[in-house]
Structure 1
Amino acid sequence: MLVAGILCLAFGVLPLPAFGELTARTVPILAFVLAMTVVTELVADAGLFQVLTDRIAVFGRGRVWLLWLLVIALATVSTVFLSLDTTAVLVTPVVVLLAMHARIPALPFALTAVWLANTASLLLPVSNLTNLLAQSRLGLSPAAFAGLVWAPALAGIVLPVAMLGIAFRKQLGGQYGPQPPHKVQDRPLLLTCAATLAVLLPALVSGVPVQIPAMAAALILLGVFARRRPGSLRWSMVPWRPLMLTIGLFMVVESLHAIGLTPLLGGVSGSGDGLPSLLRLAGLGAATANIANNLPAYLALEPEAGSPVRLAALLIGVNLGPLISPWASLATLLWHERLKALNVQVRWGGFAAAGLCCVVLLLPLSVLVLWLASGTT
C-alpha cells in the first residue's frame, strides 16, 4: 500500500499541493500513534496490565459476572484513553488468560474485548485514528469533541454490553477460585510507568495537541527503561507495518479524491443533517468499513460529511460498524493474532453473525441519539 501511494505521488496522480496538505494534517497524528504504541508496550512490559488484572480478580469476589463487569470497565477505559488497538493488543491477552486460569469460558471475555475495542472508540479523539482525523478537520478541543459524540458513544458501550450479557448469561453465572498474583520483577519501574500513565491520561484530554504529551511520555519511559531494563528496548516495539499501511492508505485515498472519488460518493451518501440522511451516511460508512477497512472508509467519505453532525454520523459508521468482517478494523486483526497465540479458536461465521446482529441494532440507535442530542431537524 505504501508503494502504491509513492507511485501515485511519483506519477502525478497525487498532486504535490494535495500531498503537502495531507502531510501537514497527518504527521502529528502518526507521531501520536507511534508514541502511544511505545508507551503502551513499555507499560505492558513493566507488568502494569497484569497488576490491574490481579486487582480485578480480587475485586470480582469469586463471581464470574462481577469479574466480567470489571473487565468491561478495563476494556472501556483502555479504549477511550489509550485507543482501540491498545485494548486489542494488550488488554485481550491478559483478560483471556485471567479467564483461562480461573477455569471459566474465555470466549465471553475475548468477545467483550474486541467489541468494546471498536464500539467504545467514539468518545475522545485519542480513542481512534478516525477520531483524530475528524478532530483535525473540525478544529475541536477534546471536550468539544466529546460534547458532540457523547450520546452515541454511550450507546456504543451500553448496547453491546447488554447483548453480550444476554448471549453469555449462562457462562457468566458461575464462580471462580482465588488467583495467584503475578510477581512484580521491578517495582520502581512499575511505579514509574503507573505515574507516567496517570499524568499522561489527563494530558491527552487537556486540549494540548495529543502528540506532545504522548511523545514526552514515550521519551521519559525510553530513558527509564534504557537505564533499568535495556533488554526491553527493541525495534519491534515500533509498529512498522501498521504505520506503512496507514501512510499508504492516506496517499492512495487522497489520490482517488484527486481523480474524482468525491463526486461519485456524493450521489450515494446523501446530504443534510436530517435523520434519514444521517442514517444513510452511517450505514454507508459501516458497509464500506466491513468491505474494505474503517480507515479508508472514513477517508473516502470524509468530504461528504459537510457538518459536525454528519461527521459524527460517519464516525458512528466506521467506528461502531466494523464488527462483521475480520478486516473491518486493524484492532480486530490484532485481536485475532493474540487469540491464536493463546490457542483460543474463533469461528468467523459466528463472529460475523453476532456482529451483524449488534450492528443492525446499534447503528440506528446511535444515529438516533446523535440526532436527538444535536437538536437538528
Structure 2
Amino acid sequence: MSGWLAEAVSVVLLGVVLVCAVVRPWGWPEAVVAVPAAGIAVLTGAIGLPHAWDEAVRLAPVVWFLAAVLVLAQLCADEGLFRACGAWLGRWAAGRPQRLLGGVFGLASVITAVLSLDATVVLLTPVVFATAARAGVRPKAPVYACTHLSNTASTLLPVSNLTNLLAFTASGLSFTRFAGLMAAPWVVAVLAEYVVFRRFFASELGTSAEPRREEVPEMPVFALATVVAVLAGFVVTSAAGVDPAWAATAGAAVLAVRALGRRMTVRKIVGAVSVPFLAFVLALGIIVKAVVDNGLGAALARVIPDGSGLLALLAIAGLAAVLANLINNLPAVLVLLPLVAGTGPGAVLAVLLGVNIGPNLTYAGSLATLLWRRIVHQHDHDVDLGEFTRLGLLTVPASLVAAVVALWGSLLVIGG
C-alpha cells in the first residue's frame, strides 16, 4: 500500500474508533469497533504485523497494571471504602456547600492519585451525588469536581492514569522520582481548579442547608491498609527494578481472597478486570502506531519544540492539550511520547500535563469524561455543553500554565 493511502486508511480507522468510543452505538463496548479496526489496519498493510505485534508487546505491561488497579479499586468499593469516605465527608461538610466542595476536592484528588481516575469517575461520583443529597445541597459543583479532578489530579503518580503508565515507561524515572517531580504541579493544578470553581459556582455555594442525620459507617480498615501497603509496594518494586504491576496485583489478590471468603463470586471479580476495555487499549495503540508511522509522527516532529526550558515545556504541554482534545488523550500520548522521549524526562512530563489537564476542555478529551457524563445522566442530571466548555476555558489554561511552571521549577531543584 502506498504511503498516502496507508495514512488515509489509518486516519479513517482512528476517526471511526474514536467516534464510536464517544457515541457507543447500541451500547457496544469500545472494543467491538476498535479490535476489528486494528485487524483491518494490519490486513490492508497500513501497519505491518511485526510492528503491530511489537506495539502490543510494548503495551502489555501497561495493560496488566491497569487490570490490577481496576480490580483493586472495585474490591475497595465492595469493602465500603468509598461509602465510608462519603459519609464522613457529609458529616464534615455539615450542610455547607463550600466545605462539601473543598472536601470533594481533597478526597477526589487523593483517590485519583492512588486508585486511578477510573475510581473517581465510576465509584466516587455516585457517592458524591448521595452525599450532596444527605447534606441538602445542590450537587452540580462537587459532581463537576469529580470529572475535572479525575483528569487534573491524575498527574501525581505513575498509577494515577493510563497515560501516566505510558509516560512513566518512556521517562526512565523511578517511581519516587516521578512522584517527586510531579508533586508541585499536582498541588498547584488542583489549587488553580479550586479557585476557579469557587468563583464559577459562587451562587450555588452561598446557601447552607440542614443535613440529614445519619449514622456514619465504620471505615473498612483492611481495605485501607491494603491500599497503603500497595503504595509502599510501588516504591519498593520501583527501587528494586521490578515492574510495579506486581504490587498492584498482590493487593488485588489479597482483597480478592478476602472477598471470595465472603461469598463474592469469581465472575464478579473477573468482571472488574474489564477485558473489553483492555482490548480497546491494545487495539487503539496499534491503530495510533499506524497513524504515526505513516506520516503524523514526521509532521509533529517538525513543530514540537526541542528542549526543557520553560517556554519549550509550555509549548509542548499546550500542543499535547490541543491534540488530546482533537483525538482524545490516550492516542495523543501514544503519538507524542516517541517524539519527546529523547529530549528528556522534562519534555515527557510536560506532555503528560497537557494530556491530563487539557481534556477538561471538551467531552471527548478523555474516556473518563465520557464515562462521567453517562453516570451523571443515570442520576437524572443534565450536563450543559456550554457550561462545561466555559468552565473548561477558565480552568484548563490556569491549571496547565501553573502546573508547567511548577514542573520547570521542580526540574531545576530536583533535576531530571
Superposition TM-score, scaled by structure 1 size: 0.91
1:202 to 232, 247, 272: 232
CA contact (8 A) 2:87 2:217 kept: no
Give the Cα separation in 1 of the matches to 2:215 and 2:85: 10
Give the Cα separation in 1 of the matches to 2:50 and 2:177: 30
CA offsets 1:74-108 (integer angstroms, 9 cap, x no match): 10100111111111111111012110222201001
2:308 alignment partner in structure 1: 273
Does 2:110 align with 1:77? yes
Q: How many percent identity over aligned positions?
A: 34
Does 2:256 align with 1:219? no
2:383 alignment partner in structure 1: 346
Give the Cα separation in 2 of the matches to 1:225 and 1:143: 31
2:12 alignment partner in structure 1: none
CA contact (8 A) 1:298 1:314 kept: yes
1:328 alignment partner in structure 2: 365
2:406 alignment partner in structure 1: 369
Give the Cα separation in 1 of the matches to 2:66 and 2:108: 19
Q: What displacement does 1:265 show?
A: 0.9
Give the Cα separation in 1 of the matches to 2:138 and 2:77: 24
Q: 1:127 to 1:13 in 2, by over 3 A?
A: same
Does 2:374 align with 1:337? yes
Q: 1:61 to 1:101 in 2, by over 3 A?
A: closer
Aligned length: 372
Alignment of 1:96-245 (within 5 A): 96-173=129-206, 174-181=208-215, 190-206=220-236, 207=238, 208-231=242-265, 233-234=267-268, 235-245=270-280
CA contact (8 A) 2:56 2:285 kept: no
Give the Cα separation in 1 of the matches to 2:245 and 2:124: 23
CA contact (8 A) 2:151 2:359 kept: yes
The secondary structure found in structure 1 opposite 2:363 is coil
Q: 1:227 to 1:169 in 2, by over 3 A?
A: same
Q: What displacement does 1:214 show?
A: 1.3
1:41 to 53, 60, 74: 74
* Larger deviation, residues 55-64 vs 316-325: 55-64
Give the Cα separation in 2 of the matches to 1:175 and 1:160: 25
Superposition TM-score, scaled by structure 2 size: 0.83
Give the Cα separation in 2 of the matches to 1:328 and 1:304: 21
Does 2:318 align with 1:291? no
CA contact (8 A) 2:135 2:209 kept: no
Give the Cα separation in 1 of the matches to 2:95 and 2:399: 32
Q: What displacement does 1:202 show?
A: 2.6
Give the Cα separation in 2 of the matches to 1:100 and 1:61: 12
Give the Cα separation in 1 of the matches to 2:266 and 2:389: 37
Q: 1:182 to 1:239 in 2, by over 3 A?
A: farther
The secondary structure found in structure 1 opposite 2:155 is coil
Give the Cα separation in 2 of the matches to 1:75 and 1:21: 36
Give the Cα separation in 1 of the matches to 2:172 and 2:88: 39
The secondary structure found in structure 2 opposite 1:126 is coil
1:304 alignment partner in structure 2: 339
Give the Cα separation in 1 of the matches to 2:68 and 2:255: 11
CA offsets 1:228-249 (integer angstroms, 9 cap, x no match): 1235842542323322221111
Q: What displacement does 1:353 show?
A: 1.6
Q: What displacement does 1:151 show?
A: 2.7
1:313 to 335, 350, 375: 350
Runs of 4+ in 1 over 6 A off after TM superposition: none
2:125 alignment partner in structure 1: 92
The secondary structure found in structure 1 opposite 2:210 is coil
Q: 1:255 to 1:358 in 2, by over 3 A?
A: same
RMSD of the TM alignment (CA)?
2.2
* Larger deviation, residues 318-327 vs 242-251: 242-251
